[in-house]
Structure 1
Amino acid sequence: MNPKVTIIRSQNKSLGEGIHEFWEYRELMYMLMLRRITVRYKQTVIGVAWVLIQPLVAMTIFSIIFGNLVKIPSDGVPYPIFVYSALVLWGLFSEGVSRSGSSLLMEAQLITKVYFPRLIIPLAAVGSSWIDFVVSLFLLLPLTFIYGMRPTWGLLLIPPVMLMTMVLATGVGTILASLNARYRDFQYIIPFLIQIWLYASPVVYSVQIVPKHFLFWYYLNPMAGCLDVFRFAVTGQTTFNWLGFGWSSVCAIAIFTIGAWIFRTVESGFADYI
């Protein structure tokens, strides 16, 4: 039996060849995801509780400032639930972008020594963030019961919104990872970008306060539609715009496509830059 030989050469592969190659290395992506999850919680004092403490603290601060002092409208939902439901989904997005944006630098030794589709690295980084989202979601649902809310059919919307958020995080993360590999300044820009994006998204306020004539442009921010629908999914009381979510989804897919194209264009030089 002839041994399998992998020839590394610079070439533009077709979409079918790229998908086939990616499928061949799928187990590597699973292992990278598992390793990231294990390392994150290994040798920690309170482990997964960190996932709950961060959004709870943010919820408390936002509720005091924006809910009690500023009194921002919350669509008839208690403000703590209003803001915490958004923070749960936002945590999935921000963690995915942060991890994928710095993923190439963290896997520098692997990139310079072993051949595999480099896109696996940011995908594994985003994939490892879903565990935090699930843990936070298990706290959010009991909180809705405490405030007198009951499950509705809207819970069925959680998986597609989660998927679209991860698609967006992957698209943004691959762009930042590509830039971060060449220009190290971007590792400092990533936290700043996430913070600015937080206040540009309906986390502490409702989309309902945005002027109607501005909504088309506002939904160019893909997180606007995702947060809007997710808040309805877990509370069953807020309103959301189907067209807005559809437009945000189109923008998220476009960002993912652009990010994947940029990444594949410059990945041949990653080993040299890193």
Structure 2
Amino acid sequence: MSALLRSLWRYRGFVLGSVKREFQARYLDSLLGAGWAVLNPLAMIIVYTVIFSQVMQSRLPGVANAFGYSIFLCAGVLTWGLFSEIVSRSTTVFIEHANLIKKLNFPRICLPAIVLVSALLNFAIIFALFTGFLLISGNFPGAIFLALLPVLATVVALGVGLGVALGVLNVFFRDVGQFVGVLLQFWFWFTPIVYPLSILPDWARTWVMLNPMTGLIGACQAVLVAGASPDWPYLAPVAGGALVVCLLALVLFRRRAGEMVDEL
């Protein structure tokens, strides 16, 4: 693992340069340029706020705040968006860059790193706007906001681990890429993102609680909606599992990285 980290550090210029080119390519030919990186998430936040807090008058059980459900929904969707972007893009990153892998000699781990940095950049832009909304609307939770850092770190670790493992498997078994798209759709609705866990019947709640994203997204929602501390004892096994997934993914990557060129 230390060798992979050293490789990433040596090629940090390549990683950051690739992220910059990707960001520029996405907005270069548009009139507003990088402004779309702000306008798209801003529009999402406004729509969720207007529709769910004003038009539909949605309420969460035990939450009197008119913006409660909007914040609940944004917290879940943004956190899930970070996770799903890392997983889905990492799954196809080696195949999408097959020509680069064949022509250039560079650490292959740089490709998932590019995906990770790009996903974090997108998330940072969106979450900064969301934080601004919380401040303006008077719903900022205070110092407990910092509790999101270890929660989001666990989300990233789980996403990277799954993404790298699936990305390697997708090189050898191309059905994996198609399967992941379907899996993420089911996984989204199996996670309390648009509905609170409390409304589920007991038998369904038991199954949904086995989903690692349930606790992670629930922790973000608890912090941002109620200003409550995450349930750390419940999250500890999830964090441990995310670390194990990362380690297993790196082992799989190191064993199969040399064979990927022949399969691409």
Give me the TM-score of the superposition, normalised by structure 1. 0.79
Change in 2 beyond 3 A, CA 1:251/1:166: same
Change in 2 beyond 3 A, CA 1:30/1:110: same
Q: 2:242 aligned with 1:252, yes or no?
A: yes
Q: 2:213 aligned with 1:223, yes or no?
A: yes
Report the residue type matching 1:173 in the other structure. G
Q: 2:183 aligned with 1:196, yes or no?
A: no
C-alpha RMSD over aligned residues = 3.1
Kept in 2, the 8 Å contact 1:126–1:169? The answer is no
CA distance in 1, matches of 2:213, 2:46: 21
Kept in 1, the 8 Å contact 2:222–2:229? The answer is yes
CA distance in 2, matches of 1:196, 1:172: 16
CA distance in 2, matches of 1:259, 1:200: 24
Change in 2 beyond 3 A, CA 1:184/1:159: same
Report the residue type matching 1:155 in the other structure. F
* Aligned residue number for residue 177 of structure 2: 187
Change in 2 beyond 3 A, CA 1:124/1:191: same
What stretches of structure 1 of length at least 5 have no aligned partner?
1-14
CA distance in 2, matches of 1:214, 1:170: 28
1:97-150, Cα deviation, whole Å (9 max, x unpaired): 122111112211111112222112112112201122122212322433565423
* Aligned residue number for residue 173 of structure 1: 163
* Aligned residue number for residue 31 of structure 1: 17
CA distance in 1, matches of 2:69, 2:207: 26
Change in 2 beyond 3 A, CA 1:184/1:253: same
Change in 2 beyond 3 A, CA 1:45/1:193: farther
Same amino acid, percent of matched pairs: 26
1:8-27, Cα deviation, whole Å (9 max, x unpaired): xxxxxxx4444433432232
* Aligned residue number for residue 130 of structure 2: 140
Kept in 1, the 8 Å contact 2:84–2:184? The answer is yes
What stretches of structure 2 of length at least 5 have no aligned partner?
none
- Pairing of 1:88-127 with structure 2 (within 5 A): 88-127=78-117
* Aligned residue number for residue 253 of structure 2: 263
Kept in 1, the 8 Å contact 2:151–2:220? The answer is yes
Change in 2 beyond 3 A, CA 1:161/1:42: farther
Change in 2 beyond 3 A, CA 1:83/1:39: same
Q: SS state of the match for residue 202, structure 1?
A: coil
Change in 2 beyond 3 A, CA 1:165/1:20: same
Change in 2 beyond 3 A, CA 1:206/1:217: same
Deviation at 1:55, TM superposition (A): 6.3
Judging by fraction of residues, say which structure has more helix.
2
Between the two proteins, the alignment pairs up a number of residues equal to 256
Report the residue type matching 2:26 in the other structure. R
Report the residue type matching 2:77 in the other structure. L
Deviation at 1:218, TM superposition (A): 4.7
CA distance in 1, matches of 2:114, 2:7: 16
Report the residue type matching 2:142 in the other structure. T
Change in 2 beyond 3 A, CA 1:83/1:245: same
